[in-house]
Amino acid sequence: MKAPTGRFLTYEEYLNYEDGTDYRHELVDGVLEAMTPATGKHSRIVRALLFCLQTEVDRSARDWQVRQSETGVQTTSRRVRIPDLCILTAQQVEDIENTAAVLQTPPPLVVEVVSPESITRDYRFKRSEYAGIGVNEYWIVDPLEQKVSVLVLEEGFYEESTFQNGEVIASPTFPDLGLTAEGILNPN
C-alpha cells in the first residue's frame, strides 16, 4: 500500500504500508517518519547488545526473545515506535506470530541507540511514550555523549541512572549482566 497523500494514516493503514524500499517507518500522529539507515558504529553497538542480552536471557532461562529493529511498539492509537532492540515475552512472541510485528503490550525492556538525528526523539518523545505505556526499563545508549542511561519506571515516571567509562550497568531486568558502559559503547 502506498501512503495516502493529503491525510493522516490510520493505525490499520500503517500496518499495511509498503513503499517498496528497505526503509523502516515509525508512525507519529498519523504521519510516517522514515528511519535513516544506521551508521556502522550504531550497527556494531546494536549487534553486540543483541548478542549480550540474548546470552543473558538464555543463561537466566527466561522464555524471552531479543528483537532488533524489526518489532514495533504501539505507544498510542496513532503512534508506533521501532526501537533498536526490545525484549519480548513468550506471550508477545505468540501474539505477533501471524500478524504485523507491532506489540500491543509493553515489552519488559527497550533499547535505543542515539544518532545525531534522533537525540530529541530518543531522550524526550520516546521516553514519555514508553513510560506512558508501562515499559519497565528503557536504555538510551548514547555514543555521541559516551554514556548509557538506564531508566526504570517508578510510579509512572522514569528514574534515571547514567553510566560512563568502566561503570557496570545496573539493570533491574538483568541484575547479573556485568556489562560496562565502555563495553556497550565501544564493542569489539
Q: What is the CATH number of the domain that holds 130?
A: 3.90.1570.10
Q: In what order do the strands lie in the sheet with 72-76?
A: 31-35, 24-28, 79-81, 72-76, 102-103
Q: Domain for residue 134, yes or no?
A: yes
Q: Domain for residue 151, yes or no?
A: yes
Q: Domain for residue 104, yes or no?
A: yes
The DSSP annotation for 17-78 comes to: ---SSS-EEEEETTEEEEEPPPPHHHHHHHHHHHHHHHHHHHHTT-S-EEEES--EEEEETT
Q: Domain for residue 130, yes or no?
A: yes
The tens digit of pLDDT for each residue in 150-175 reads: 999 999 999 999 999 999 999 999 99
133: phi then psi, degrees, rounded to nearest 5: -95, -5
Number of domains in the chain: 1
CA angle, 116 as apex, 133 and 128 as ends, to 5°?
15
Domain of 118 in residue numbering reads as 38-185
At 40 the pLDDT is 84
CA angle, 26 as apex, 126 and 32 as ends, to 5°?
125
Q: What percent of the chain has pLDDT over 70?
A: 96
The residue type of 109 is L
* CB 90, CB 62: distance < 8 Å: no
Q: Domain for residue 91, yes or no?
A: yes
Strand pairing of 137-142 and 147-154? antiparallel
pTM of the model: 0.87
At 24 the pLDDT is 76
Q: Domain for residue 33, yes or no?
A: no
The number of helix segments (H) and strand segments (E) in the chain equals 6, 11
For the chain (188 residues), the mean pLDDT of every run of 10, in chain order, is 60 75 76 77 94 95 91 91 95 91 94 92 94 97 97 96 97 95 93
Q: Domain for residue 32, yes or no?
A: no
Q: Domain for residue 139, yes or no?
A: yes
